[in-house]
Chains A and B, each alone.
Chain A
Amino acid sequence: MNSEFSSPIGKITQINGKCISLVGNDIDTDRIIPARFLKCVNFDTLGKSVFKDDRATLKGRHPFDLAENKNASILIVNSNFGCGSSREHAPQALLRWGIKAIIGESFAEIFYSNCIAIGIPCFTLLKKSIQDIQKYNENKSLFLEIDLKKSSAISKDLNFHLNIKESSKKMFLSGEWDATSTLLKNENLIERKKNDLPYLKFSLDL
């Protein structure tokens, strides 16, 4: 767990770090952060509770507890990672544990949007490549250098071309992944849309 946490800001172009592999499809956000930890009015203390119940079950053998994964920052996952509840607490907990990027076979949609919104780039790779990384990672540490512009991940032994949605990539490279300010630029268009929508003319104001 990373004790000196600071939220990502500005352009994100390069992420270098150690990989942590978590094997399994359909890992849902209830598992990433159980609901009882949602009783909070800010995200600050979530890092220590990430995968709380899975970790307790595995009694120290969970990847997030293994000594060799200390200070890892690139999470390697399989398919449909982050399915289920829309809780942003899930990526916020991962971020606060120290995760800066995720590479997986596929991501659940709301989880993906939440990651992008808080500055965690999510990349996809084919199943075979993910399995190669996870297998390599079983025996030794893997340090990846991710170049967002080139969509590449390179290391001593393994190299990959990563896939990322073009819209997400542009947001990170330009530093405009904090959506609020981008959206606010179109204030006039928003006002116009509000005046044009048929149902806002006949719906009662709330």
Chain B
Amino acid sequence: MSQNTLFDKVWDLHKVSSLRGGSDQIFIGLHLIHEVTSPQAFGALKDKNLKVKFPNRTVATVDHIVPTDNQSRPFKDNLAEKMIEALEKNCQKHKIRFFNIGSGNQGIVHVVAPELGLTQPGMTIACGDSHTSTHGAFGSIAFGIGTSQVRDVLATQTIAMNKLKVRQIWCDNQLANGVYAKDLVLHIINKLGVQAGVGFAYEFAGPAIDALSMEERMTICNMSIEGGARCGYINPDTKTYSYIKNRLCAPKNEDWDKALMWWDSLKSDANSIYDDVIRLDASEVEPTVTWGITPGQSVGINQQIPHLADLSPNDQPIAGEAYEYMDFKPGQSIKGTPVDVCFIGSCTNGRISDLRVAAKVLKNKKVSNKVKAFVVPGSEKVASEAKQEGLDKIFEESGFQWREPGCSMCLAMNSDKLEGNQVSASSSNRNFKGRQGSPRGRTLLMSPAMVAAAAINGKVSDVREFIYK
């Protein structure tokens, strides 16, 4: 059993009681809600005649269903309008702070909370969304929950949960030029598999992780869930603290000094014990692209789609399914695969640094006329920062459509969808069958820089050829 890791310290600190049968009652320091997984939870509160216990520990925004072309109200989609109305009413009734469209702070919940300084080291954070693991980048313990647990957090500020084991993933050396956090996390998931993380929290550590910016660290932790781990985290350091400092909800004045001391004490001790440790060499990671229907099915840009015989027996059935669904042949190169749609956005890669890196590739270039390309900033703040820097113009001049913030085609709950069996190059997190809105749609996951390169060439390309030209 793990000892003295950040996970152990934060878990113990938030433990309210031991429940019958071995699970723990854990206090949730910060609860984030959005329009898709909360209405039923509020409904359940009403049925049980319960109140929201600590309304000032829950924060709301709207992201999943918002249109990205025209956000004026009422939304054209009547069901989407009903959902945002339900959230508005619930927040008003229960006195929950809500960052609505136009507030300047609306956006994807996992982009917004760090921007506001809500996400801090040592917190437990829960949200009815599996990518809550993102917040672990700050040294918080953050996990996705279902609607019944949203109800529990609203009613009690706690949830019942079994303590996780801790696996350290130590990344030696540094990422090469043109290789990004997205490539590293896709590589990790490919090496460990999509099931390996079940029952574990992932601690990402090592020189390659230390070298990452906070936004890159969020990309890594965001996709922990794609490796099966409900939460992933990185020990806080000076980068963490300077990111948080002076943000709206950050501790101020003498509280800041107290916070710093406390945050520093939470890091995993040098003599921590882990349930498992994995080491890998980050310098070996290539720009990575998924070819299949799970985020674990990826290859380096210069590699071929694997043959069945190259895979473990357990991975073979889903690979067979993937060849058929994706219409790929084993041994085929991923490089050169034609793409129809290019999407930059999502809680994985919709932040300002993602937009900057993509814009750098796109500057003075044109998107292939065979491709529909669009960029969806992760939040209103990302959008306004990008506009100040003129990134929106670079995107538009290249042929990308510049959209309003939201989850958009990551999960296609709004009108941004693939059609038929279109292939998308996507900076999002899931390549599941039908994920991007068409039951036959095909998703290739990659970094935002790689999406930009694919958009220019109209096919999967190695972004390093653009950077060095």
Q: Which residues of A contact B (CB under 8 A)?
A: 24-26, 28, 30-31, 34-36, 38-43, 53-54, 56-57, 79-80, 83-89, 91, 106-110, 113-114, 117-118, 165-171, 174, 176, 179-180, 182-184, 186-187, 189-190, 193-194, 197-206
Taking CB atoms and an 8 Å cut-off, the chain B residues in 1-44 that contact chain A are 13-14, 16-17, 19-23, 25, 27, 29, 36-37, 39-40, 43-44
CB of B439 within 8 A of CB of A57, answer yes
Q: How far is the CA of A47 from the CA of B19 in the complex (A)?
A: 32
Contact of A79 with B19 at beta-carbon distance under 8 Å, contacts A30-B430, A179-B152, A190-B158 already known? no
Closest chain-A Cβ to B458's Cβ sits at a distance in Å of 27
CB contacts (< 8 Å) of B158 on chain A: these are 183, 186, 190
Q: Does B57 have its Cβ within 8 Å of any Cβ on chain A?
A: yes
Q: How far is the CA of A193 from the CA of B11 in the complex (A)?
A: 13
CB contacts (< 8 Å) of A189 on chain B: these are 16-17, 25
Q: How far is the CA of A53 from the CA of B412 in the complex (A)?
A: 14
CB contacts (< 8 Å) of A24 on chain B: these are 317-318, 321
Q: Does B346 have its Cβ within 8 Å of any Cβ on chain A?
A: no
Since A80-B194, A117-B148 are in contact, a sample of 19 more A-B pairs with Cβ atoms closer than 8 Å, ordered by chain A residue number, is A26-B195, A35-B435, A38-B36, A39-B80, A43-B40, A53-B433, A85-B411, A86-B145, A88-B147, A89-B147, A109-B199, A110-B143, A117-B149, A179-B149, A180-B44, A183-B25, A190-B27, A202-B251, A206-B97
Q: How far is the CA of A98 from the CA of B425 in the complex (A)?
A: 38
Contact with A along B427-450 (1 / 0, CB 8 A): 000101111010110000000000
Q: How far is the CA of A183 from the CA of B128 in the complex (A)?
A: 18
CB contacts (< 8 Å) of B262 on chain A: these are 198-199
Contact of A167 among B20, B143, B159, B432 (CB under 8 A): B20
CB contacts (< 8 Å) of A197 on chain B: these are 13-14, 27, 29
CB of A109 within 8 A of CB of B14, answer no
CB contacts (< 8 Å) of A182 on chain B: these are 19, 160
CB contacts (< 8 Å) of A118 on chain B: these are 148
CB contacts (< 8 Å) of B365 on chain A: these are none
Q: Does B56 have its Cβ within 8 Å of any Cβ on chain A?
A: yes
Q: How far is the CA of A91 from the CA of B235 in the complex (A)?
A: 34
CB of A31 within 8 A of CB of B83, answer no
Closest chain-A Cβ to B260's Cβ sits at a distance in Å of 10
CB contacts (< 8 Å) of B20 on chain A: these are 167, 170-171, 174, 176
CB of B157 within 8 A of CB of A190, answer yes
CB of A179 within 8 A of CB of B413, answer no
Closest chain-B Cβ to A56's Cβ sits at a distance in Å of 6
Closest chain-A Cβ to B445's Cβ sits at a distance in Å of 13
Contact of B14 among A110, A165, A179, A193 (CB under 8 A): A193
CB contacts (< 8 Å) of B56 on chain A: these are 205-206
10 CB contacts below 8 A, A to B, read: A30-B430, A31-B433, A35-B437, A88-B148, A89-B147, A110-B144, A113-B149, A183-B160, A197-B29, A199-B120
Contact of A109 with B230 at beta-carbon distance under 8 Å, contacts A167-B21, A167-B23 already known? yes
CB of B147 within 8 A of CB of A183, answer no
CB closest chain-A residue, reference B58: A206
Q: Does B73 have its Cβ within 8 Å of any Cβ on chain A?
A: no
CB contacts (< 8 Å) of B19 on chain A: these are 167, 182
Q: Does B465 have its Cβ within 8 Å of any Cβ on chain A?
A: no
Interface size on B, as a range, is: 35 or more
Contact of B128 among A86, A193, A201 (CB under 8 A): A86
CB of A166 within 8 A of CB of B21, answer yes
CB contacts (< 8 Å) of B53 on chain A: these are 190
Q: Does B282 have its Cβ within 8 Å of any Cβ on chain A?
A: no
Taking CB atoms and an 8 Å cut-off, the chain B residues in 364-411 that contact chain A are 411
Contact of A199 with B48 at beta-carbon distance under 8 Å, contacts A86-B128, A113-B149 already known? no
Closest chain-B Cβ to A155's Cβ sits at a distance in Å of 26
CB of B161 within 8 A of CB of A194, answer no
Contact with A along B246-271 (1 / 0, CB 8 A): 00010110011011001000000000
Q: How far is the CA of A184 from the CA of B120 in the complex (A)?
A: 27
CB contacts (< 8 Å) of A56 on chain B: these are 439
Q: How far is the CA of A139 from the CA of B249 in the complex (A)?
A: 61
CB of B86 within 8 A of CB of A84, answer no
CB contacts (< 8 Å) of A165 on chain B: these are 21-22, 162
Q: How far is the CA of A113 from the CA of B144 in the complex (A)?
A: 11
Contact of A86 with B156 at beta-carbon distance under 8 Å, contacts A41-B82, A199-B120, A206-B57 already known? no
CB contacts (< 8 Å) of A203 on chain B: these are 120, 249, 251
CB of A34 within 8 A of CB of B228, answer no
Q: How far is the CA of A114 from the CA of B148 in the complex (A)?
A: 7
Q: How far is the CA of A1 from the CA of B158 in the complex (A)?
A: 35
CB of A194 within 8 A of CB of B54, answer yes
CB closest chain-A residue, reference B433: A31
CB closest chain-A residue, reference B27: A193
CB of A186 within 8 A of CB of B413, answer no
CB of B86 within 8 A of CB of A41, answer yes
Closest chain-B Cβ to A196's Cβ sits at a distance in Å of 9
CB contacts (< 8 Å) of B225 on chain A: these are 84, 110
Q: Which of B36, B79, B82, B440 has the most CB of A within 10 A?
A: B36
CB of B294 within 8 A of CB of A26, answer yes
CB contacts (< 8 Å) of A110 on chain B: these are 130, 143-146, 225, 230
CB contacts (< 8 Å) of A179 on chain B: these are 148-149, 152, 159-160
Contact of A180 with B17 at beta-carbon distance under 8 Å, contacts A86-B130, A202-B255 already known? no
